[in-house]
Structure 1
Amino acid sequence: MICFPNAKINLGLDIVSKRPDGYHNLETVFYPIGLKDALEIVPFDNSVACADLQSVPTEDYRFFQTGIEILGNADDNLVVKALKLLAAEKEIPHIDIHLLKKIPFGAGLGGGSADAAFMLRLLNETFSLGYSDAELENRAAKLGADCAFFIKNKPAFATGIGNELEEIELDLSHYFFVLVKPDIFVPTKDAYAMVSPQTPQTSLKEIVKKPVSEWKEWMKNDFESSVFKKYPEICRIKEELYELGAVYASMSGSGSSFYGFFEKPPLTPPQGEIWRGTI
């Protein structure tokens, strides 16, 4: 079976407080977008040579990865971790895993988390494991803070470390959407280190109810001010999106990707564009 894990963007992001465990409490709105990876699982095929692609032979699975190169050990990939998490609870046949990576990592788009959550769903459906959505969300949260969002994959107001979700009504499908990923990597740890937590005066859950044309005055991403100081070239992307006519533009997560909502397609796409279309 095959599925297509999609990216998400953050509509606003408030860093509320530092937690005793070293993490931060935040408030944000997760919104799914159409940029996608491809993930397939098939019965173990002995005719496929282990030298092909980036396969890693084990007793339980082989992992094949193409598209954007993912460095490191396959055992550290969230897709494989998702498999191992369920395999510790249920009997799962030996499988070949094929991942085509199109969502850039280190971009604030949740691509790795999406792959992990979709893997949980794919295994559950393929092998009739019997998990409910709530049970899958619980297991997804063990893999990453925003993994649980991708189980239901619907707009949600997120609190805690991004793992406490409240579904909201929000439809941005009538806007034209542009996503830009510059060739700059912003380490998440560094982004958090430059932010001073504070409780927002108005909750994002209320701000997203306002017209999108008013979001520019109300909605912010706490990471932007500190990231812009260190990477002024990133700030220029946001300025360019507004110059092109965006009704709202923002960095997603801790960056470095930016998105803009337009009432009509911009005539000149910004440099670094990786995806555009209706959301």
Structure 2
Amino acid sequence: MLDFPNAKINLGLYITEKRPDGFHNLQSCFYPVRWCDALEILPSEQERFDMTGLPVPGNPETNLCLKAYKLLQKDYNLPPVHMHLHKVIPMGAGLGGGSADAAFTLRLLNQMFELDLSAESLENYARQLGSDCAFFVQNKPVIATERGDVFTPVELSLSGYTCVIVYPELHITTAEAYGSIVPKQPTCTMQMLLKQDVKVWREVLKNDFEEALFPKYPELPQIKQELYEAGAAYASMTGSGSAIYGLFEGEGPDESVFSGQYTVWKGLL
């Protein structure tokens, strides 16, 4: 079975408080985009996992796809499989690529072995793998709260907008990003902010990590400014990583505007 785990962007991101368990509570809108990895799972005589595409740091045995398989194998005595992941979504970019890979592994195994697990059950497994993994089970725009794993549906469509994501080949770890954050409560709810016109978001919809990371990495605010100069209605860092995206009415600029050392993805929402 073959599927294509997709990335997400954050429309606003507010870190509201540090939790007793060491994690942080947040408020954000998660919105899926079509920048995708490729994941294939096949029956096999023995358990196998391999990767192509972008190099993934760390031991392959700790990959979230394998962890997702082990979770279901333990509870449902799954037979061996061969999993192949082709990595396209950059890591440390705030795009949720690894989380998507894990959630799509759960989804594919559920179909492949006819486990008949509900979306709620799959989300509960996904929550054991990472804070935003559960989002990719249903893969629809939501308001995310607590650790980013409690969801409220949101009526929001960016149909007709083009998203341009610029990744400056800069890997920012979650620990580094959160280490500079001072939690605070936003002055307005995400629901109220998102009801405003996209062109107003520039003034009211913020990502708290920008304040912490932009002074340290000056190329990030420069990319954001270039997106606005190219005609973006709204531009922001996504997640806690280094990717900066712009939302454009219509087709948006040519990717060559951001040529050079940057990786650029462009697609309709």
The TM-score, its normalising length taken from structure 2, stands at 0.96
Report deviation, 1:11: 0.5
1:11-50 matches, cutoff 5 A: 11-44=11-44
Larger Rg: 1
Which residue is equivalent to 1:49?
Answer: none
Give 5+ residue unaligned stretches, structure 1.
46-59
Tell me which residue corresponds to 2:253.
266
The list of structure 1 runs, each at least 4 consecutive aligned residues, that deviate by more than 4 angstroms after superposition, is: none
Residue 193 of structure 1 pairs with residue 179 of structure 2:
yes
TM-score by structure 1 length?
0.92
Q: Which runs of 5+ in 2 are unaligned?
A: none
- State the alpha-carbon separation in 1 of the partners of residues 84 and 115 from structure 2: 21
Between the aligned residues of both structures, percent identity stands at 51
Give the Cα–Cα distance (whole angstroms) in 1 for the partners of residues 172 and 79 of structure 2.
39
**For 2:140, what is the secondary structure of its paired residue?**
coil
- Partner of 2:213: helix, strand, or coil? helix
Letter in 2 for 1:199: Q
- Equivalent residues in 2 for 1:143-182 (5 A)? 143-182=129-168
Q: Distance in 2 between matches of 1:74 and 1:189?
A: 21
Q: Which amino acid aligns with 1:140?
A: A
Measure how far apart 1:75 and its partner are. 1.7
1:91 Cα deviation after fit = 2.2
1:133 and 1:2 mapped to 2: Cα distance? Answer: 19
Retained in 2: the 8 A contact 1:137–1:151?
Answer: yes
5 Å matches for 1:2-151?
2-44=2-44, 60-151=46-137
Cα shift at 1:274: 2.2
* 1:273 CA drift (Å): 4.0
Aligned to 1:250: 236
How far did residue 71 of structure 1 move? 2.6
Distance (whole Å) between structure 2 residues aligned to residue 184 and residue 155 of structure 1: 27
SS of 1:10 mapped into structure 2: strand
Q: Cα deviations across residues 113-152 of structure 1 (Å, max 9, x unaligned)?
A: 0000000000001100121110010110000000000000
CA contact (8 A) 2:92 2:170 kept: no
CA–CA separation in structure 1 for the residues paired with 2:16 and 2:57:
33
Q: Secondary structure at the match of 1:41?
A: strand
Report the AA paired with residue 6 of structure 2. Answer: N
Cα separation, 2, equivalents of 1:195 and 1:91? 42
* Worse-matched range after superposition: 221-230 or 201-210: 201-210
Q: Is the 8 A contact 2:38 2:86 kept in 1?
A: yes
In the TM superposition, what is the alpha-carbon distance from 1:42 to its structure 2 partner?
A: 0.8
Q: Following the alignment from structure 1 to structure 2, what is the Cα–Cα distance between the partners of residues 173 and 38?
A: 24
Q: Which letter maps to 2:99?
A: S
Paired residues for 1:209-248 under 5 Å: 209-248=195-234
